[in-house]
């Protein structure tokens, strides 16, 4: 990292990279960077998938098309195994969640100073490019899942069956207050667990990349290339970046898979009736 005369301190560097590009105040604050990159990734996802679908052929499918076919079959099998009912929404929903969250997470591999430097040239002081490292994004996605949980709870059991289960499951009608408390807690815990798990893992990963970048903070590249200590810092920085990136490449699809799988499982649990218990 090239040094400047007014090189930031470690504290200011970390704080700067963990601050969003925002508009508004208080509860109505919008993280423009999260919205921007979420939309761009979503549009890119739709564009390439639609393009692949239009170019689909059984004669000689491309490598990308074959990969998408494997991905679609993988998601479809996961839905068949975990969701007991029949719905034309679940499989496309699961595929969208998996790919979109995967793209969110992949942004964490991009060098931490690249996009902030590009946007700084346009007058944007703060920027975070990893939507899944923003709690507002993960909670927004999990809130959508929560609304679908409510929908499938009613769709699978009927409104009366849903209310009956909330009041009488699992302890019976005589322990109605405890049933309500337990079921409400369980219902709210599902979106909370989805949001916090994804946010925590990606925020931690982003923070570690930022901490690794501190190895060369405030040092002139020309000076580092002419000293043994400078070369040691450069090589140490590169080795740590590579090691953490390799490990993080495993975390990125895993977190997308977990979010997708738990979404399917939660919707399946909502759809099923527990009268037999």
Q: What DSSP string runs through 46-73?
A: HHHHHHHHHT--SSS--HHHHHHHHHHH
What gap in Å lies between CA 111 and CA 108, rounded to an integer?
Answer: 8
For the segment 205-225, what is each residue's pLDDT rounded down to a tens digit? 888 888 887 766 655 555 555
For the segment 175-188, what is each residue's pLDDT rounded down to a tens digit? 888 989 999 999 99
Choosing from 136, 197, 220, 273, the catalytic residue is 197
For the segment 47-66, what is each residue's pLDDT rounded down to a tens digit? 988 888 887 776 676 777 88
80 belongs to the catalytic site: no
pLDDT at 7 over 70: no
Choosing from 31, 38, 132, 201, the catalytic residue is 201
Choosing from 10, 66, 193, 222, the catalytic residue is 193
Query: Please, which residues have CB within 8 angstroms of residue 162's CB and are 6 or more apart in sequence?
Result: 153, 154
What gap in Å lies between CA 2 and CA 31, rounded to an integer?
Answer: 28
pLDDT at position 224 is 53
15 belongs to the catalytic site: no
201 belongs to the catalytic site: yes
């Amino acid at each position: 990292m090239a040094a400047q005369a007014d090189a930031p301190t470690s504290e200011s560097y970390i704080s700067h990279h963990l601050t969003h590009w925002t508009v508004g105040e208080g509860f109505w604050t919008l993280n423009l960077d999260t919205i921007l990159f979420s939309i761009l990734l979503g549009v890119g996802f739709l564009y390439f998938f639609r393009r692949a679908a239009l170019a689909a052929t059984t004669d000689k499918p491309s490598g990308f098309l074959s990969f998408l076919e494997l991905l679609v079959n993988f998601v479809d099998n996961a839905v068949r195994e975990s969701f007991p009912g029949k719905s034309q929404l679940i499989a496309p929903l699961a595929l969208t969640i998996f790919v979109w969250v995967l793209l969110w997470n992949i942004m964490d591999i991009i060098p931490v100073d690249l996009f902030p430097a590009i946007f700084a040239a346009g007058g944007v002081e703060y920027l975070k490019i990893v939507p899944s490292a923003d709690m507002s994004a993960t909670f927004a996605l999990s809130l959508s899942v929560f609304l679908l949980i409510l929908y499938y709870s009613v769709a699978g059991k009927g409104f009366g069956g849903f209310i009956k289960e909330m009041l009488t499951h699992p302890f019976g009608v005589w322990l109605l207050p405890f049933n309500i408390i337990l079921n409400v807690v369980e219902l709210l815990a599902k979106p909370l667990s989805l949001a916090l798990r994804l946010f925590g893992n990606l925020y931690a990963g982003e923070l570690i990349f930022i901490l690794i970048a501190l190895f060369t903070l405030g040092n002139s590249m020309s000076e580092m290339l002419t000293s043994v200590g400078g070369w040691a810092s450069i090589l140490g920085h590169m080795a740590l970046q590579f090691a953490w990136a390799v490990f993080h490449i495993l975390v990125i699809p895993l977190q997308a898979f977990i979010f997708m799988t738990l979404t399917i499982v939660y919707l399946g649990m909502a759809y099923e009736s527990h009268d037999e218990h």
